[in-house]
Amino acid sequence: MLNKWEGIVLKTQPYGETNKIVTFMTREAGKVTAMARGAKKPSSRLASVTQPFTYGSFLIQQGRGMGTVQQGEPLESMRHIREDIVATAYASYAVELVDRLIESEKAEPYAFEVLVQALRAIEEGYDPEAIALFVEWKMLPFTGVQPILHECASCSAVDGEFAFSFTQGGFLCHRCFHQDPYIIRLTPTQLKLIRMFYSVPIEKIGKLTLKKETKKFIKKISTTIYEEQTGMRLKSKSFIEQLERAPQLFGANFESKKEATEETENPQADED
């Protein structure tokens, strides 16, 4: 069966002298692995279109066993992502997260959309660290966690002060703080941001710029959820940590093109 699928190259693995095994996240069929014959040869018409992060349209022949990539046409080459080490590092994290959380050959259009939006935003020069954080929050349901962020997870109140509770899996209002001694108190801005990270499409919040401390704070929460729920340790995350510790070793420039110093006061006002 010959399928035409829209997909993103998540990773490749050399196979033999000239071939590559390519893992795609496709819109139509979820995660798919296929052999790209000859794709390791620079002269191959499959060489460039099977590079990681490429978003393209692919003809994949499937039969028994692993499918083969017959043709590929790039829709977006994601060149900036490949050329900028900081962009590469965070895009790798987004891609690895999707790869680890999504099962093979089961359509997950939401996850596909999250990944396309994220890579496109990084490609366009938005703060890659913030974008990777969006992906983390948006992929949470695939870890089995559906955080309750629209009301108090215990009493359903929507007003009052709020905190994040890992044991309750979401927000707790001040009336229920006593239920968890380890709550993380949130300011109204932090509360709003966490909700946005989880529920607003990336394309609508591309203009949002975040302070370093804000990202750190929000990341702390999602990292804890991931570690406790999945125990996953991603290779790309170790690389980001090295990069942050000694950027000069990698010639990295952390000033993203569109990063501002001030946080957007009312990010949703940017929706137009």
* Contacting positions for Zn ion (CB under 5 A): 152, 154-155, 157, 173, 175-176
Report the residue number, 85 or 148, with the smaller CB distance to Zn ion.
148
The least CB distance from residue 170 to Zn ion, in Å, is 11
For residue 227, the cross-strand partners are none
Report the residue number, 132 or 152, with the smaller CB distance to Zn ion.
152
Cα angle at 243 between 33 and 116, to 5 degrees? 35
The least CB distance from residue 187 to Zn ion, in Å, is 18
CA distance 269 to 164: 25
Instruction: Show the tokens assigned to 50.
Output: 């099977």
The least CB distance from residue 172 to Zn ion, in Å, is 6
The least CB distance from residue 49 to Zn ion, in Å, is 52
The least CB distance from residue 135 to Zn ion, in Å, is 29
The least CB distance from residue 146 to Zn ion, in Å, is 18
Report the residue number, 155 or 232, with the smaller CB distance to Zn ion.
155
The least CB distance from residue 179 to Zn ion, in Å, is 8
Cα angle at 101 between 2 and 103, to 5 degrees? 35
Q: How many helices (H) and strands (E) does the chain have?
A: 8, 8
Instruction: Show the tokens assigned to 177.
Output: 């703080």
Residue pair 29/22 in contact by the 8 Å Cβ criterion: no
50: Cα within 13 Å, side-chain hemisphere: 30
Residue pair 260/197 in contact by the 8 Å Cβ criterion: no
Separation of CA 234 from chain center? 12
Report the residue number, 161 or 259, with the smaller CB distance to Zn ion.
161
Report the residue number, 59 or 157, with the smaller CB distance to Zn ion.
157
Report the residue number, 157 or 200, with the smaller CB distance to Zn ion.
157
Report the residue number, 16 or 160, with the smaller CB distance to Zn ion.
160
Cβ neighbour number for residue 95 with a 10 Å cutoff: 25
Single out the residue of 87, 65, 68, 78 nearest to residue 21, CA to CA.
68
User: 118 Cβ partners below 8 Å, 6+ apart?
Assistant: 91, 94, 131, 132, 134, 135, 202
**Straight-line distance from the first to the last Cα atom of the chain, in angstroms, rounded to the nearest whole number:** 43
